[in-house]
Amino acid sequence: MEITREIVEHPERFTGARVVDELPVHMYDGADAEPGQDVPAWLRDVRVLCDFESHLQMEGLLGWWENRSREDLDVVCAALRSVGMDDQAALLHEAVDVLGPGQVDASGEVNSVSSFSQRHPEMTDEQLEQCRTLEERLALDGANGVDLRSALIAHADSGLAGMLRSG
């Protein structure tokens, strides 16, 4: 059974920690890749933020911005706010001020072996440094006192509890 459907149909089998541990492992597989609209808002938030964190780990803020920000910025910011990470949402909006909407769009050469600055020569050294600073401040791994995992577990525990009360 797909993990998303199992969580929705059998919330009693899950804890917030289990959701946060298992969802990222399966959320790109089969039906979990496109879970549909019947997914509770709290579970969508967890999915969005697990995906965002994965992209940050793999690509960094500039890579995420180049590849995903146009589609995901508002969704990620809303999810961050929903788990109580308003400061991180504000940091992403600071990136808009530095990078500008649409300024850093993926070119046809994203998969080439080239640096971000080579693909975007219009970016100044000052803008790149501002982005590096924002990325350090955005750290979601607890290094800056911001622990996304703990926030997601608490959010999932709350969502599961609500499902159990109403179901």
Residues pairing with 141 in the sheet:
147
Q: Please count the residues of the chain.
A: 167
* pLDDT confidence tier of residue 110, bands split at 50, 70 and 90: very low
pLDDT above 70 (res 113): no
* pLDDT confidence tier of residue 150, bands split at 50, 70 and 90: very high
Other CB atoms within 10 A of residue 103 CB: 13
Q: Which one-letter amino acid corresponds to residue 138?
A: L
**Which pLDDT tens digit goes with each residue over 3-54?**
888 999 999 999 999 999 999 998 888 766 676 668 899 999 999 999 999 9
pLDDT above 50 (res 2): yes
Q: % helix / strand / coil in the chain, to the nearest 5?
A: 70, 0, 30
Closest CA to 90 of 48, 134, 31: 134
Q: Which two tokens stand for residue 22?
A: 């298992």
The structure's pTM equals: 0.84
pLDDT above 60 (res 103): no
Least confident of 28-37, 117-126, 134-143: 28-37
Quick one: how far is CA 81 from the chain centroid?
Answer: 12
How many Cα atoms within 13 Å fall on the side-chain side of residue 3? 20
Q: What is the residue whose two structure tokens read 């993926």? A: 106
Q: What beta strand segments (E) does the chain contain?
A: none
Q: Which domains does the chain have, with CATH numbers?
A: 3-166 (1.20.1420)
How many Cα atoms within 13 Å fall on the side-chain side of residue 124? 6
pLDDT at 78: 96
CB 144 within 8 A of CB 78: no
pLDDT above 80 (res 133): yes
